[in-house]
């Protein structure tokens, strides 16, 4: 069970804090990176990582749980279909917090929280499944070869007729006729 936060909550009441973190998470998933105070970024990180982990599951229950926090359906769609697949082989650490300088108005410490860019790389197949796939492919190749028609010997007349181009009554092949037609059009 997570330990409760010490000190004053963000925004005063627990309900307001939940809404602020939900809005920050929505903006993070929508834009990929946001600038906020260090305190808010530290409070947002666990929530954002939990939502990405739920999105990686991809089932209906996980989608409904995420919709309970992030109210924008377009952002939830992007989270499930674009963001979560990027982290298929990663077990956490989806966000990064980079500290920036103090804010000009009140000198509050600022930070950038962003999604870590990682492309999903297909996991290597275990040896057993690779051997089974190779055996299956070989069996399919044998079936194809068995169904293929037999080739006629080189010296027979049937194969020689197929190899030649069709000849018209005047003795010209189709290619020669096409070349002569193009030459006549160029002259005209």
Tens digit of each residue's pLDDT (9 = 90 or more) over 82-139: 999 999 999 999 999 999 999 999 999 999 999 998 655 545 545 666 777 777 777 7
Answer yes or no: is pLDDT of 46 > 70. Answer: yes
**Structure-token match 């500290």, residue found:** 99
Tens digit of each residue's pLDDT (9 = 90 or more) over 8-28: 788 788 889 999 999 999 999
Is the pTM above the cut of 0.85? no
What's the pLDDT at 69?
95
Domain 14-115: assigned CATH number: 3.90.1030.10
The full 3-state SS of the chain, as one line of letters, equals CCCCCCCCCCCCCHHHHHHHHHHHHHHHHHHCEEEEEHHHHHHHHHHHHHHHHHHHHCCHHHHHHHHHHCCCHHHHHHHHHHHHHHHCCCCCCCEEEEEEEECCCCCCEEEEEEECCCCCCCCCCCHHHHHHHHHHHHHHHHHHHHHCCCCCCCCCHHHHHHHCCCECCCCCEHHHHHHHHHHHHHHC
Tens digit of each residue's pLDDT (9 = 90 or more) over 149-177: 666 555 555 545 545 555 555 555 666 66
Tens digit of each residue's pLDDT (9 = 90 or more) over 50-98: 999 999 999 999 999 999 999 999 999 999 999 999 999 999 999 999 9
């Amino acid at each position: 069970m997570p330990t409760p936060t010490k000190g004053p909550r963000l925004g005063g009441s627990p309900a307001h804090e939940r809404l602020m973190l939900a809005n920050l998470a929505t903006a993070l998933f929508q834009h990929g990176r946001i600038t906020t105070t260090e305190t808010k970024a530290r409070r947002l990180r666990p929530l954002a990582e939990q939502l990405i982990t739920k999105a990686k599951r991809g089932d209906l229950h996980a989608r409904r749980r995420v919709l309970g926090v992030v109210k924008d359906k377009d952002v939830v769609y992007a989270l499930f279909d674009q963001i979560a697949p990027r982290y298929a082989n990663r077990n956490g650490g989806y966000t990064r917090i980079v500290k920036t300088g103090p804010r000009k108005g009140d000198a509050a410490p600022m930070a950038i929280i962003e999604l870590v860019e990682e492309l999903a790389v297909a996991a290597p197949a275990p040896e057993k499944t690779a051997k089974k796939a190779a055996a299956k492919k070989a069996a399919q190749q044998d079936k194809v070869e068995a169904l293929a028609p037999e080739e006629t010997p080189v010296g027979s007349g049937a194969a020689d007729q197929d190899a030649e181009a069709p000849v018209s009554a005047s003795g010209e092949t189709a290619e020669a006729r096409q070349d002569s037609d193009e030459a006549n059009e160029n002259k005209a």
